[in-house]
Amino acid sequence: MKQYYLSQLVNQPQGFRAFIPSSFPLATDIKLSKETVQKHTEAIRLLGKLDGITELLPDKDCFLQMFILKDAHITIYQRAT
């Protein structure tokens, strides 16, 4: 597999150095397994479903708060054990 760097440190004419992002790899360079494509497709479908559900909610903040509290509870429980 070809290795890609996210950015490179380049000296600028003004006397400072800057991180310059690399260009994206060509789509032909990216090889995805059938399993990865299936998981990606399922994730996109579920995100669409979640987006549709949130459009029906009268109070999105209340819906989000429920998951934040649940995650906090699980985290506290895990740290206690």
Give the per-residue pLDDT at 44.
95
29-73 pLDDT per residue, tens:
678 899 999 999 999 999 999 888 778 878 878 878 888 998 888
Whether the full predicted model's pTM is greater than 0.75, yes or no, is no
32-44 pLDDT per residue, tens:
899 999 999 999 9
Cα-atom radius of gyration of the chain, to the nearest Å?
A: 21
Q: For the chain, what are the domain ranges?
A: 32-81
